[in-house]
Amino acid sequence: MSNRRPSRRQCLQLGGAAVAVSLTGCLSQLSQDESGNETDSESASDGEPVADDPETRVYRETIDSVVLVRNDEGSGTGFMIDDSHVVTNAHVVGEASEAEIRFSEGQWTTGEVVGTDRHSDLAAIAVETVPESATPLSFIDGETEVGTDVIAIGNPFNFDGSVTAGIVSGVDRSIPSPTGFTIPDAIQTDAAVNPGNSGGPLMSLDGVVVAVINSGGGDNLGFGVSAPLARRVVPELIETGSYEHSYMGVSFTDVTPDVAEANGLDEPRGLLVDAVVEGGPSEGVLQPSEETTTVDDTEVPVGGDVMLSLGEDDLMTTEDLGNYLALQTRPSDTIAVTVLRDGSEQTVDLTLGTRPDELE
């Protein structure tokens, strides 16, 4: 979010080009011919139109659907997801029940916050007055590949209508949520993401949303809530105002070579249960580690169940577990957990609960 109030409409930043602001104002989007006369950038010297590059094309097709979201706590970005709802981040709307919405051509309206989910950092805002040009954007149907070309559109530092270009740098990331839990299946990008971009779309060059921009983590490091997770959460925010996430009630650690050695395992695999929440879904079902030992000057847990798979999905990393719970289950589902217990594999049934509001 950005706490600065917008003043006037800034220059559009196209195709990753820098926005330059001086005492004389914004750079013109017209080019000059050899004689110094201004010419339309879409026309070549022979009078034939020049085809837009993919980034410019997607920007032009998308920008009318991207909005500024503002309330007393600051401002961010959002985008139309259907004819009357805007998607943004939960941390953009905060505790507000309403938000001011500004469309790309300058129209202002007020929207009602109809649903928030701090666990996924997503929110939905109902908007009554929508320009005809603000058509809904669609989430990608399926997964996003590393290396996919993308653009991030938003309002960084209140430079509205800005765009930066990059690629999908990583998938299946776990990023912090406002509740202290993590957001699984997140998308990482090297497209520049700054305060004010939060809640905006990360677009593929096919013109679909691959993620809802969530945060910037440093130079060339931005993150977004993945389209598969947003597709599950957003419709329920619009319909019911909230979303419930599956919860196991355990903490665990990766089985590294040191942990495998300490526990007499042939190879490092799975996740070692090191604690079970009292009264949680896993109490009496999964056995936690209760002791530690030292391996190469490092204290590691010993004993307890090693989770090998959930359902038919093998568990190699903590991201595997988070993605499975978020994308394939709902609270009250009963799942089969294959564990390594006392040297032998066995399968136990675990009925999932609902994640609490905050990490305890």
Confidence grade of residue 347 (pLDDT, cut at 50, 70, 90): very high
Beta strands in 103-200 (DSSP E): 108-117, 122-127, 149-154, 162-176, 182-189
Determine the average pLDDT of the residues in 38-44. Answer: 40
Measure the CA dihedral 323/216/116/6, to 10°: -160
Question: In this prediction, what percent of the chain has a pLDDT beyond 70?
Answer: 85
pLDDT higher than 60, residue 35 = no
**How would DSSP label each residue in 306-317?**
EEEEETTEE--S
Q: Is 83 left (phi over 0), alpha (psi -120 to 50) or beta?
A: alpha
The string of DSSP codes covering 283-337 is TTTSPPP-EEEEETTEEEEESS-EEEEETTEE--SHHHHHHHHHHH--TT-EEEE
- Rounded mean pLDDT of 89-102? 96
User: Cα separation of 28 and 210, whole Å?
Assistant: 31
pLDDT tens figures, 206-238: 999 999 999 886 778 999 999 999 999 999 999
Catalytic positions are 91, 121, 198
Position of tokens 């809904």?
Answer: 136
- Distance from C-alpha of 33 to C-alpha of 38, rounded to nearest angstrom: 6
Q: Give me the percent of the chain exceeding a pLDDT of 90.
A: 75
Q: Using CA atoms in the order 138, 142, 148, 153, what is the torsion angle rounded to 10 degrees?
A: 20
Structural domains of the chain ordered from first start:
1-243 (2.40.10.120), 246-354 (2.30.42.10)
**CB distance 158 to 196 below 8 Å:** yes
Q: Write down the pTM of the prediction.
A: 0.84
State whether the Cα torsion 295-359-247-318 is positive or negative: negative
